[in-house]
Copies of this chain bind each other. A is one copy, B any other.
Amino acid sequence: MIETLVKKIKETQAPIVVGLDPNLNFVPEYIKEKAFKEAGESLEGAALAFKEYNKGIIDSIADLVPAVKPQIAMYEQLGIPGMEVFEWTVDYAHKKGLVVIGDIKRGDIGSTSEMYAVGHIGKTKIGNNLIPAFDEDIVTVNPYLGSDGVLPFVKVCEAEKKGIFVLVKTSNPSSGEFQDRVIDGRALYEHVAEKVVEWGQSTIDPETGYSEVGAVVGATYPEQGKILRKLMPKAYILVPGYGAQGGKGSDLAYFFNDDGLGAIVNSSRGIIAAYKQEQYAKCGEEGYAEASRLAVLDMKEDLRQAIENR
């Protein structure tokens, strides 16, 4: 999958992933009204609103970016109807030619991680059939349980040419509480990064030189990003925290390798709720999808300048 992702990043000239993290506070009133009228102020009604909202955004940005990243928690909060919209969103984004990164942050003991891996990026064996369940292209993985919690995902990556991004240094304010603690002279996140390199050895794509095993490093920690970029030269870095969480383009220059590749930056509410920002307010609620398109174009320019000026 890393080969496809890199190819699409080159084509679009946009190392950007749009975070499809719907929230009833972001969904325009007219969409909510219609959905609630049809299905009630219920889990089903909210899920219907998410679907309509996502469709508008995907249609509006599909030609500009390589990938989308639905955050499964937003869908999971709506129970089964939400999970159905998660599944629909994955499929619809695929139809529009997008790579889908499932932000699921799963991780468990080996036999259980295997179930998550087959359910999200592999195929479940039932009798004589092999059936994909949620069918994303890449998923995020939590490393707290160590190698035997991560390797079942790597095994599926090898078999299915899919990918993972392992949490290394997350974007949130208290990520340092454990991740920054020093062990034998180096932060825990550096030890995790070392393992990311090891886990990724078997899945390096000869075409691009990048591994199917990437890493998550928050835009909010540019110094650490610079160190981690060098520690994991063949790992693609998924960078959350741009925009609403405080990360700026200029912070991100050193998340990229010298070839201008090696990182893909996520923006969620900065794009999907752009119509709520003063800058794009002229689009109005009804133009929320158009506002998201403009926000992608501005982000693309911001990143281009940052990479150029470093």
Specify which chain B residues have a CB less than 8 angstroms from the CB of A124 in the assembled complex.
Answer: 43, 46, 77-79
User: How near does chain B come to A293, taking the closest CB pair, in angstroms?
Assistant: 24
Q: Which of A43, A144, A184, A192 has its CB near the most chain B CB atoms (within 10 A)?
A: A144
CB-defined interface of A79-120 with B at 8 Å, one 1/0 digit per residue? Answer: 110111001000000000000000001111110110110111
User: How near does chain B come to A160, taking the closest CB pair, in angstroms?
Assistant: 14
User: How near does chain B come to A39, taking the closest CB pair, in angstroms?
Assistant: 10
A233 to B215, CA, bound (A): 36
Tell me whether A7 is interfacial, beta carbon within 8 Å: no
A197 to B82, CA, bound (A): 34
Tell me whether A148 is interfacial, beta carbon within 8 Å: yes
A120 to B76, CA, bound (A): 8
Tell me whether A149 is interfacial, beta carbon within 8 Å: yes
Q: Is the CB of B73 within 8 A of A79?
A: no
User: How near does chain B come to A267, taking the closest CB pair, in angstroms?
Assistant: 14
Specify which chain B residues have a CB less than 8 angstroms from the CB of A188 in the assembled complex.
Answer: 178, 181, 183, 188
Q: Which of B36, B71, B167 is within 8 Å of A144, CB to CB?
A: B167
A108 to B177, CA, bound (A): 14
Q: Which of A116, A124, A176 has its CB near the most chain B CB atoms (within 10 A)?
A: A124
A125 to B45, CA, bound (A): 12
Question: Could you tell me which residues of chain A, from 117 to 146, have a CB within 8 Å of some CB in chain B?
Answer: 118-120, 124-129, 131, 133-134, 142-146
Q: When A73-B119, A170-B145 are in contact, do A108 and B109 touch as well, CB less than 8 Å?
A: no
Known contacts A142-B142, A143-B178, A149-B172; 7 additional CB pairs below 8 A are A24-B125, A73-B108, A77-B115, A109-B170, A142-B144, A146-B172, A146-B177
Residues in A lying within 8 Å of B, measured CB to CB: 21, 24, 36, 41-43, 45-46, 71, 73-74, 76-80, 82-84, 87, 105-110, 112-113, 115-116, 118-120, 124-129, 131, 133-134, 142-149, 167, 170-179, 181-184, 188, 191-192, 195, 240, 245
20 A-B pairs whose Cβ atoms sit less than 8 Å apart in the complex: A36-B127, A42-B131, A46-B126, A73-B119, A76-B119, A79-B87, A79-B119, A80-B83, A82-B119, A83-B83, A109-B170, A110-B172, A143-B178, A144-B144, A145-B174, A146-B172, A146-B174, A149-B174, A178-B188, A178-B192
